[in-house]
Structure 1
């Protein structure tokens, strides 16, 4: 009797461990991504993004084929609403990629880290505004602390920290709109890069015709790096999608700080970007906001678990 009862528990633990490893791999790859993007920093961001799209397509297609999910794509292609929503999310994520690639190339990686730290707080604020989700007082306090950090950076720089805010808001908007796609995450990513592939290919052909392309036989190193943009884009997204299906939302919520922390450490200690003074105060406020938000999320998850009737 006890042996039979233990099997579901063991299965849940195995799923949780696999989900944790999938998600940790995804965040680890995202954390190291600035090192790869620095290798292509001599190439314009628009060209890099076009290659990210183009070379992500075969990777995403292969994964869909191996998972046996190709029928979902055929169904999605027959739905105008799904195609329209996918085109919108594809446009938003391509803007996010472009800003990120450009920021790394011009030594503003610290600002990208700040953007992805702010992202979860922007997400809950947008969910409250547009989805009617209610925030508790700790979440409101966390959003206010993040707002104070942005205000301090704005006052110091004489303008909004637009790189950080653009990354945070674009990815938050992408996440919210992505939920409206009636297909799975792997299928949705394939559909997005499929929609983006035609304009990306057209742009690269135009670039090659005017002699401005870096994807040429005279630069085999650039060819290898640009082809590699596909796997480094697609693989972590697929790993994340697989991990998110097996993990609790609260676990994913805590783990998402892994990538910006790695980006921050690489920016300061590898790229030697300046950090101190006002930036240090702003980051301290963001870290405090994230700690408060995470504690609130874990507390709510624990209360929900304890309130469930025991079988």
Structure 2
């Protein structure tokens, strides 16, 4: 929902930003709420956009997404005159290495997501982003030593049952859902290493910059063989424009997310993240008319129960945390 309570989906790739302390209660300012809701709504509509690009293969789409995201970020960096932050990130080996790793993870996440959408498996992608916050707390327990609360453990257990139902019914692992949840969970874990030292725009610039040489090498091979989407019968001005727009389309919700999360409480961010997978699932069912088996419905229902348990625990924690000035 991709970087808050967990990284934002797919997308969305919410990169770490230094943020002032959020309001302990209430909903924050109206503009912040609008930004957070706006980014999740945009991520929820991404399947419609990527369907427009399906004449290009999933790998080529991601290649364009990386190249044009880098171009967009460099343009924004120039407008904001934030070259010093970018130079510092590139010149610091630990930050550069961390962002290179997160760039690889988010590229894998993007690739699996686009493949899912354009192969008629958007519902699988939605399931992955529903369970992503649960995967995130498990990874935090494993790698950061954070203890699972009882309710979190129950939610994770229900999610495991849901995946087991699918495995038994399908006879195979739901690899798209698990790949999306795991790759984005690991992305959030890696991003935690740079914390507030890298702002959203700089982080996305370096991540896309580290992966762009791979994309360009792929383009060289693809177009040398005459297999590019902008060659032959698939070529069109509309497709070319859609691929170029992948840059601003990727950057816009991420920057909305970064700006919005500075202004609203974590409760708003944590609850809003489920807008995206709900929209994805509804698109899969009502717009793309994907076949959703009885086992899929049962599994999805179980995951929603796990989400309810998880969110209820989140709200309980927020309601019972110490208030500033009270002892």
TM-score under structure 2 length normalisation: 0.87
Alpha-carbon distance in 2 for matches of 1:105, 1:206: 23
RMSD: 2.0
Whether the aligned pair in 2 keeps the contact of 1:41 and 1:104 (CA below 8 Å) is no
Alpha-carbon distance in 1 for matches of 2:30, 2:140: 29
Aligned equivalent of 2:109, options 91, 96, 101 = 96
Whether the aligned pair in 1 keeps the contact of 2:72 and 2:248 (CA below 8 Å) is yes
Q: Deviations over 1:226-282 (max 9, x none)?
A: 111112211111111212222222221110000000000001000000124111111
Q: For residue 309 of structure 1, what is the aligned residue in structure 2?
A: 325
Q: For residue 225 of structure 1, what is the aligned residue in structure 2?
A: 242
Aligned equivalent of 2:203, options 185, 188, 193 = 188
Alpha-carbon distance in 1 for matches of 2:80, 2:172: 47
Alpha-carbon distance in 2 for matches of 1:143, 1:155: 18
Alpha-carbon distance in 1 for matches of 2:254, 2:71: 14
Shift, 1:156, TM fit? 0.6
Q: For residue 9 of structure 2, what is the aligned residue in structure 1?
A: none
Alpha-carbon distance in 2 for matches of 1:19, 1:186: 18
Whether the aligned pair in 1 keeps the contact of 2:28 and 2:265 (CA below 8 Å) is no
Q: What is the 5 A alignment of 1:1-311?
A: 16-181=29-194, 182-216=197-231, 218-306=235-323, 308-310=324-326
> Which structure shows the bigger proportion of residues in helix conformation?
1
Whether the aligned pair in 2 keeps the contact of 1:113 and 1:263 (CA below 8 Å) is yes
Query: What is the DSSP-based 3-state SS (H/G/I as helix, E as strand, rest coil) of the residue aligned with 1:246?
Result: coil
Alignment coverage as a number of residue pairs: 301
Shift, 1:17, TM fit? 2.1
Q: Deviations over 1:122-164 (max 9, x none)?
A: 0011111111111211111001001100010011110110000
Unmatched tracts of structure 2, length 5 or more: 1-21
Alpha-carbon distance in 2 for matches of 1:266, 1:29: 13
Whether the aligned pair in 2 keeps the contact of 1:42 and 1:105 (CA below 8 Å) is no
Alpha-carbon distance in 2 for matches of 1:212, 1:129: 44
Structure label with greater radius of gyration: 1
Query: What is the DSSP-based 3-state SS (H/G/I as helix, E as strand, rest coil) of the residue aligned with 2:29?
Result: helix
Whether the aligned pair in 1 keeps the contact of 2:27 and 2:264 (CA below 8 Å) is no
Alpha-carbon distance in 2 for matches of 1:13, 1:135: 26
Q: Which moved more, 1:257-266 or 1:39-48?
A: 39-48
Alpha-carbon distance in 2 for matches of 1:243, 1:61: 22
Alpha-carbon distance in 2 for matches of 1:62, 1:245: 23
Q: Deviations over 1:38-61 (max 9, x none)?
A: 111221111000000011112222
Alpha-carbon distance in 1 for matches of 2:286, 2:252: 26
